[in-house]
């Protein structure tokens, strides 16, 4: 593995990156001035960025095919609804526990090695799940699969940060997040259709085929130099994902995703309680608005600022959740899908761009791991906490309460902007 150029006086890696923000100062990449010549935008649609988008779409398609249909497979093996919840929960828990180790590995051994390891690991586990003869075996295999999922997805996020020009972080991260969301509108119906007809072997082999395509693409992608060098001291700190620059954006992500966790866990039950039959349409409309928002907000955030764009997104999310809590008809519920989709689509990639802009290149792997750890933790806390509170205060109040975390995040962002901590384009 090639080593970074070093400063003889300091003996530490020296990264030459004119397009990178100064993390110590918290400033954004500075645009060229008139004196330096005509302003040109660095290329975003490179060969390797396109390959990464292809890897992301195919990998998440294989994941979503199984995620939506897994409860039916659990029942097929003799399990109950509680068993189905356990399988899903352990998968998420394993992915979350893998993040600290993944962050260390990304900075110690490079993005490509970790991406390949995680993808191959998941591919092998998908095949093994088709051979699971008992519910116990499936539970173990899904949990181990979650561990590999944590490696592959964290590596993809870190690689996106390496491939996107710093002056186009918002746009690039928005497109990367878009490819993570596209499979949500395609894969679950296919998986449920196959599982509903008892075609479980076809289900697993389809997921294997699609995930195999992502592995082929991962084998030919080229990794930027700063993504393959080993960070000094990385081996000595297994939990090096706790990068200071990642704490604030990740905390905001935790607050946002906890609300989505409530929705994922309880919206179907909420719709049945209120007599609203369009819960499925909520997810479809949400996915459409999420995708549109990510495309538009990415470019906006590069000009307006990552923190500013995220704040607008949090505002939309809060209003959407409050509207959802008051819904007694389909049109109100669907209106909440529009608002929450716009808000989440604007906030999430802006937070990730904010994190990358604040982090030195050789620590982006660890920072990305921290970000995804917060994502997993927020999803789990929202789903479990919301389910517990629903029996105490009622579903409508739970959804109203779910608006509190993004509202807190909005206040924190506005406070930092008010203190001048987030110049345009720099985030916070």
Domains of the chain: 44-221 (1.20.1250.20), 239-428 (1.20.1250.20)
**Three-class secondary structure of residue 225 per DSSP:** helix
At 391 the pLDDT is 79
Show the tokens assigned to 212. 């195999």
pTM of the model: 0.72
At 284 the pLDDT is 80
Give the containing element (helix H, strand E) for 337: helix 330-358
Give the number of residues written for the chain: 428
Q: Cα separations (Å) of 18 from 28, 36, 93, 167, 278?
A: 11, 14, 39, 10, 50
User: What is the C-alpha to C-alpha distance for residues 345 and 295, in angstroms, rounded to an integer?
Assistant: 9
Is 220 exposed, middle or buried (CB count within 10 Å of its CB: 0-12, 13-18, 19+)?
exposed
Among 258, 265, 275, CA closest to 402: 258
Among 261, 284, 269, 252, CA closest to 355: 252
Show the tokens assigned to 105. 């590995």
Q: What are phi and psi of 365, to 5 degrees?
A: -60, -50
Show the tokens assigned to 327. 């819904």
pLDDT mean for each 10 residues of the chain (428 residues) = 37 36 39 48 89 96 87 84 73 86 83 94 94 89 93 92 86 87 80 87 95 97 66 46 83 93 80 81 85 86 90 96 92 94 93 87 82 87 82 87 95 85 46
At 285 the pLDDT is 87
At 425 the pLDDT is 44
Is 151 exposed, middle or buried (CB count within 10 Å of its CB: 0-12, 13-18, 19+)?
buried
Is 11 exposed, middle or buried (CB count within 10 Å of its CB: 0-12, 13-18, 19+)?
exposed
User: What is the C-alpha to C-alpha distance for residues 153 and 13, in angstroms, rounded to an integer?
Assistant: 26
At 110 the pLDDT is 84
């Amino acid at each position: 593995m090639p080593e970074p150029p070093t400063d003889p006086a300091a003996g530490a890696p020296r990264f030459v990156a004119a397009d990178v923000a100064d993390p110590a100062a918290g400033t954004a990449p500075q645009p060229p001035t008139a004196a330096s010549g005509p302003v040109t935008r660095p290329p975003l649609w490179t060969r390797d960025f396109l390959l990464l988008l292809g890897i992301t779409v195919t990998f998440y398609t294989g994941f979503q095919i199984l995620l939506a249909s897994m409860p039916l497979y659990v029942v097929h093996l003799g399990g109950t609804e509680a068993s189905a919840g356990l399988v899903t929960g352990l998968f998420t828990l394993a992915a979350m526990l893998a993040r600290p180790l993944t962050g260390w590995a990304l900075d110690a051994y490079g993005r490509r090695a970790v991406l390949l390891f995680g993808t191959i690991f998941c591919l092998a586990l998908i095949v093994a799940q088709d051979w699971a003869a008992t519910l116990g075996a499936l539970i173990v295999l899904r949990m181990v699969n979650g561990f590999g999922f944590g490696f592959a997805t964290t590596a993809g996020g870190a690689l996106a940060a390496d491939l996107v020009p710093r002056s186009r972080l918002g746009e690039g991260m928005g497109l990367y997040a878009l490819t993570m969301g596209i499979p949500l509108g395609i894969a679950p119906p296919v998986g449920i259709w196959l599982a509903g007809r008892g075609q479980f072997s076809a289900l697993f082999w389809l997921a294997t085929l699609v995930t195999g395509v992502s592995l082929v693409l991962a084998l030919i992608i080229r990794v930027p130099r700063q993504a393959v060098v080993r960070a000094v001291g990385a081996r000595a700190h297994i939990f090096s994902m706790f990068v200071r620059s990642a704490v604030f954006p990740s905390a905001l992500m935790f607050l946002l995703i906890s609300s989505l966790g409530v929705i994922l866990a309880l919206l179907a039950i909420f719709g049945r309680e209120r007599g609203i039959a369009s819960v499925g349409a909520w997810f479809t409309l949400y996915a459409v608005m999420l995708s549109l928002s990510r495309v538009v907000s990415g470019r906006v955030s590069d000009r307006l600022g990552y923190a500013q764009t995220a704040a607008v997104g949090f505002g939309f999310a809060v209003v959407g959740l409050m509207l959802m809590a008051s819904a007694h008809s389909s049109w109100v519920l669907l209106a909440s899908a529009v608002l929450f989709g716009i808000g989440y689509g604007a906030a999430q990639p802006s937070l990730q761009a904010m994190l990358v802009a604040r982090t030195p290149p050789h620590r982006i792997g660890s920072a990305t791991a921290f970000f995804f750890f917060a994502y997993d933790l927020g999803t789990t806390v929202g789903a479990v906490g919301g389910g517990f509170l629903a029996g105490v205060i009622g579903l409508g109040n739970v959804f109203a309460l779910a608006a509190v975390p993004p509202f807190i995040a909005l206040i924190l962002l506005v406070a930092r902007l008010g203190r001048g901590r987030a110049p345009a384009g720099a985030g916070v």
